């Protein structure tokens, strides 16, 4: 009970701190010239400020570390680490498919875990992909979405990046159901080591794409937001193509 109470007070302290941070950031964020308001992003001033804060942290810490990791650790080892982490996430994905009533996909994910944990030696390899069990990835945000929860406003989470109100709640559940926490003691050196490795692995996988993302962006904030929202929408609709919202040139073909 005492521990629970302590957790609560830490949580509310964090919440207060976050609120203060949000208010402070909102006050100083400004919108770019010619800015186009987006109905999905009512908190844009805060979000832009947090996005640039996150970018600064990334530039200072995470990206350099990920680059070093990629340069120092040989590719076969990095692949093995990615596969191991992926195998744990396949276990969670199996449960999510079940929660979403997708028995076939749950079976596929379960087969992946079985094959990769055995033939793939504890998940270090991914032979399942080669024999037709393709990878899928699900999380609580997607499951809530399948159950009918709308995304709510776009929200940039401090340090974690792009999200929505629904996906922020989903992320909290994802942390709670984290397979690392089930296998290792929470807060132990091993657990921390794995968490950091996972973070670096994830960041390193994004390095290659950055220059192309920049090529696609005239306002990086808008690019990242639109890409995130579109991707989540697609993941939840399981790939059904959303129609284009409108023909902006009034339905005419220009030439």
Partner 1 sequence: MTRHLICAAALCLWTLASPAWAQTQSSTPDGLIKSVTQDVLESIRTDRSLQKGDLSRLNQLVDQRVMPVVNFSRMTALTVGVNWRKATPEQQERLMAAFRELLLLTYADALRQVQDTTVQVRPARYEAEDTDVVVRTFVLRTGKEPIQLDYRLQKTPEGWKIYDFNVLGLWLVDHYRAQFAQLVSAKGLDGLISALQAKNQTLRQGVQAKAGT
What is the distance between the alpha carbons of residues 97 and 42, in angstroms, rounded to a whole number? 32
Does 104 engage in binding with partner 1 (CB under 8 A)?
no
- Which of these ranges, 27-35, 52-60, 143-151, 185-193, lies near partner 1 under the rule CB under 8 A? 27-35
Does 160 engage in binding with partner 1 (CB under 8 A)?
no
Does 233 engage in binding with partner 1 (CB under 8 A)?
yes
CA 105 to chain centre: 21
Q: How many binding residues for partner 1 (CB under 8 A)?
A: 54
What is the distance between the alpha carbons of residues 244 and 241, in angstroms, rounded to a whole number? 9
Does 137 engage in binding with partner 1 (CB under 8 A)?
yes
Report the candidate in 154, 158, 155 with the shortest Cα–Cα distance to residue 54.
158
Of the candidate residues 85, 109, 110, 126, the single one contacting partner 1 (CB under 8 A): 126
Task: Give the contact letters, 45-84, x = binds to partner 1 (CB under 8 A), - = no.
Answer: ----------------------------------x--xx-
- Per-residue DSSP letter, 34: T
Of the candidate residues 16, 38, 40, 159, the single one contacting partner 1 (CB under 8 A): 38
Helix or strand run (H / E) with residue 163:
strand 161-164
Of the candidate residues 134, 147, 159, 196, the single one contacting partner 1 (CB under 8 A): 134
CA 116 to chain centre: 23
- For residue 132, with 0-12 CB atoms within 10 Å meaning exposed, 13-18 middle and 19 or more buried, which class applies? exposed
In terms of CB distance, is 57 or 206 closer to partner 1?
A: 206
The three-class DSSP label of residue 156 is strand
> Nearest approach, Cβ of 21 to partner 1 (angstroms)?
25
In terms of CB distance, is 22 or 236 closer to partner 1?
A: 236
> Nearest approach, Cβ of 29 to partner 1 (angstroms)?
16
Does 189 engage in binding with partner 1 (CB under 8 A)?
no
- Which of these ranges, 6-14, 55-63, 96-104, 238-246, lies near partner 1 under the rule CB under 8 A? 238-246
> Taking a C-beta distance cutoff of 8 angstroms, is the pair 190, 184 a contact?
yes
Backbone phi and psi for residue 78, each to the nearest 5 degrees, phi listed first: -65, -40
How far CA 44 is from CA of 157, 233, 234, in Å, comes to 13, 19, 23
Positions in 81-100 near partner 1 (CB under 8 A): 82-83, 86
In terms of CB distance, is 22 or 163 closer to partner 1?
A: 163
What is the distance between the alpha carbons of residues 90 and 136, in angstroms, rounded to a whole number? 8
What is the distance between the alpha carbons of residues 32 and 48, in angstroms, rounded to a whole number? 10
Does 210 engage in binding with partner 1 (CB under 8 A)?
yes
Catalog residues that contact partner 1 under the rule CB under 8 A. Answer: 32-36, 38, 79, 82-83, 86, 126, 129-130, 134-137, 205-206, 208-213, 215-219, 222-224, 226-228, 230-235, 239, 241-242, 244-245, 247-250, 253-255
């Amino acid at each position: 009970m005492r521990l629970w109470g302590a957790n609560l007070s830490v949580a509310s302290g964090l919440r207060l701190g976050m609120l203060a941070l949000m208010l402070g950031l909102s006050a100083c964020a400004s919108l770019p010239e010619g800015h186009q308001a987006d109905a999905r992003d009512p908190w844009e001033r805060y979000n832009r400020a947090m996005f640039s804060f996150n970018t600064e942290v990334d530039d200072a810490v995470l990206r350099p570390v990920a680059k070093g990791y990629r340069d120092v650790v040989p590719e076969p080892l990095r692949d093995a680490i990615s596969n191991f982490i992926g195998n744990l996430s396949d276990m969670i994905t199996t449960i999510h498919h079940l929660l979403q009533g997708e028995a076939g996909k749950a079976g596929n994910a379960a087969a992946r875990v079985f094959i990769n944990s055995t033939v793939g030696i504890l998940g270090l390899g991914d032979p399942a992909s080669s024999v037709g069990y393709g990878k899928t990835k699900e999380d609580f945000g997607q499951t809530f979405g399948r159950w009918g929860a709308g995304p709510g406003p776009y929200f940039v989470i401090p340090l974690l990046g792009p999200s929505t109100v629904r996906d922020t709640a989903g992320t909290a559940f994802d942390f709670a159901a984290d397979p690392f926490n089930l296998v290792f003691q929470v807060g132990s050196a091993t657990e921390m080591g794995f968490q950091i490795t996972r973070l670096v692995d994830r960041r390193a996988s994004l390095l290659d794409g950055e220059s192309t993302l920049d090529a696609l962006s005239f306002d990086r904030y808008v690019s990242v937001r639109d890409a995130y929202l579109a991707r989540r929408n697609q993941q939840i609709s399981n790939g059904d193509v959303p129609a284009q919202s409108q023909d902006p040139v009034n339905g005419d073909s220009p030439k």
